[in-house]
């Protein structure tokens, strides 16, 4: 949180200030939609390591961060990237090779965990997952959990319904709250104070933001405060939660940003192909991440043709003619 009126700063500065080695972070969006990709690439360029990442379903951002070796621990429901990679490739490889510690939840559980963090309660109950191996199989051992004060002592707990059989359930699954050090989201519009307007689906961005100590917002359009205040019913995140605002057009590319551009099916395919081969992956990273200084240069590397191909049709909010297979 930051109560200054003008929170704008270059993305490089925001990442340097709020994303430290070993930080607990969460990123917004869902699989191939509205991931804060400019911020993801900047984290990789700054070679930040040992991160603890929380997500419900993530794809593009997740696989870039894991592929670059930034993630040490992961709590997640789903790692997939649409047709290009039904299971994220570097994610699968890192788990198969025992390179990261990970813990599986469901999407609802992760959403509730962020919600609990936003509400300031230690846990929320659900009936999801009763009878599943998610309750009994833990990725983080009990001793590891007890040795790290930033990690809750149990993955999940089945507890008696304190209200008897009220609601038709004798017991519930308690899912523990998450309070990340920093959440990074990419939105369509923000003002310099950090009030945000998201178009299309919000996924769990609002809960993630409100659960976090710091929030970095990257935005397509940096607009006047008066513009957002004219129709405040359309704003989801008030500025009080936000620490930094970075104006980064195409900051979600190659994922989709509703009303602005589609996901780039070709880019994701190219990424998936590179991710399968170590040499190709290094070459990919050298060209698109380490070979450029910032997102603007990255977009030049990608080329105007791709950006034009993914441009959203104003009526539907996505690219109607883009080749998707």
Partner 1 sequence: MDYTLKELMTICAAREIKNGDIVFCGTGISMLAAMAAKNINAPDSVIFFETGAIDSKLEDIPLAVADPRIMYHTSANGGLMEAFCTMQNPMSGARIVGILGAAQIDIYGNLNSTVIGEYEAPAVRFSGSGGACDVASFVSRSIIFMKMEKRKFKKKLDYLTSPGYLDGPEGREKAGLPPGGPDKVITDMGVMGFDEHTRQMFLIGCFPGITPDRILDNMEFEIRTDRAVEIAVPTQTELTLLREKCDPHSLIL
For the window 12-51, what string marks contact with partner 1 as x by the rule CB under 8 A? -----------------xxxxx------------------
Write down the least CB distance from residue 3 to partner 1, Å: 27
* Largest Cα–Cα separation, the chain: 62
Distance separating the N- and C-terminal Cα atoms of the chain: 43
Residues 115 and 207 sit within 8 Å (Cβ to Cβ): yes
DSSP β-ladder status, 71-76 and 101-104: parallel
Q: HSE of 299 in the Cβ direction (CA atoms, 13 Å)?
A: 16
User: What is the distance of C-alpha 71 from the center of its chain?
Assistant: 13
Q: How many residues bind partner 1 (CB under 8 A)?
A: 68
**Should residue 95 be labelled a site residue for partner 1 when binding is judged by CB under 8 A?**
yes
| Position among 8, 111, 179, 195 found at the interface with partner 1 (CB under 8 A) | 111
Length of the chain: 325
Strand, helix or coil for residue 183: strand
| Position among 3, 96, 143, 165 found at the interface with partner 1 (CB under 8 A) | 96
For the window 246-275, what string marks contact with partner 1 as x by the rule CB under 8 A? ----------x-x---xx-x----------
Residues 6+ apart with CB under 8 A from 324: 83, 265
For the window 50-89, what string marks contact with partner 1 as x by the rule CB under 8 A? ------xx------------------xxxxx-xx--xxx-
For the window 122-141, what string marks contact with partner 1 as x by the rule CB under 8 A? ----xxxxxxxxx--x-x--
Write down the least CB distance from residue 41 to partner 1, Å: 20
* Residue that the structure tokens 């709590």 belong to: 75
**Dist CA 112 CA 101 (whole Å):** 22
Token reading at 21:
């080695």
Residues 209-248 that bind partner 1 (CB under 8 A): none
- Rg, Å, the chain Cα set: 20
Write down the least CB distance from residue 108 to partner 1, Å: 4
Residues that bind partner 1 (CB under 8 A): 29-33, 56-57, 76-80, 82-83, 86-88, 91-92, 95-98, 104-109, 111, 115, 126-134, 137, 139, 158, 168-172, 200-207, 256, 258, 262-263, 265, 312, 316-318, 320, 324-325
């Amino acid at each position: 949180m930051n109560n200054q009126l003008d929170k704008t700063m270059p993305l490089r500065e925001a990442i340097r200030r709020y994303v430290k080695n070993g930080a607990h972070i969460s990123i917004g969006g869902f699989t191939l939609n509205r991931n804060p990709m400019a911020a993801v690439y900047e984290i990789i360029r700054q070679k930040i390591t040992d991160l603890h990442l929380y997500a419900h379903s993530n794809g593009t951002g997740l696989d870039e961060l894991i592929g670059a070796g930034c993630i040490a621990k992961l709590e997640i429901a789903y790692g997939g990237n649409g047709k290009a990679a039904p299971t994220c490739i570097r994610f699968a490889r890192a788990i198969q090779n025992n390179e990261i510690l990970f813990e599986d939840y469901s999407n609802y559980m992760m959403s509730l965990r962020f919600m609990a963090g936003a509400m300031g309660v230690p846990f929320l109950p659900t009936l999801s997952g009763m009878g599943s191996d998610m309750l009994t199989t833990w990725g983080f051992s009990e001793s590891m959990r007890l040795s790290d004060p930033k990690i809750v002592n149990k993955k999940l707990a089945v507890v008696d319904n304190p209200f008897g059989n009220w609601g038709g359930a004798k017991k519930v699954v308690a899912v523990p709250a998450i309070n990340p050090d920093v959440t990074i989201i990419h939105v369509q519009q923000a003002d310099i104070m950090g009030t945000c307007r998201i178009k299309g689906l919000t996924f769990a961005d609002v809960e993630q933001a409100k659960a976090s100590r710091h929030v970095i917002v990257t935005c397509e359009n940096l607009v006047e405060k008066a513009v957002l205040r004219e129709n405040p019913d359309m704003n989801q995140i008030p500025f009080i939660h936000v620490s930094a605002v970075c104006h980064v057009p195409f900051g979600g590319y190659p994922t989709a940003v509703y009303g602005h551009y589609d996901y780039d099916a070709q880019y994701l395919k190219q990424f998936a192909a590179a991710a399968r081969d170590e040499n190709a992956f290094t070459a990919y990273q050298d060209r698109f991440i380490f070979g450029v200084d910032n997102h603007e240069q990255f977009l030049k590397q990608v080329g105007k043709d791709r950006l034009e191909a993914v441009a959203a049709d104003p009526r539907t909010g996505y690219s109607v003619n883009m080749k998707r297979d």
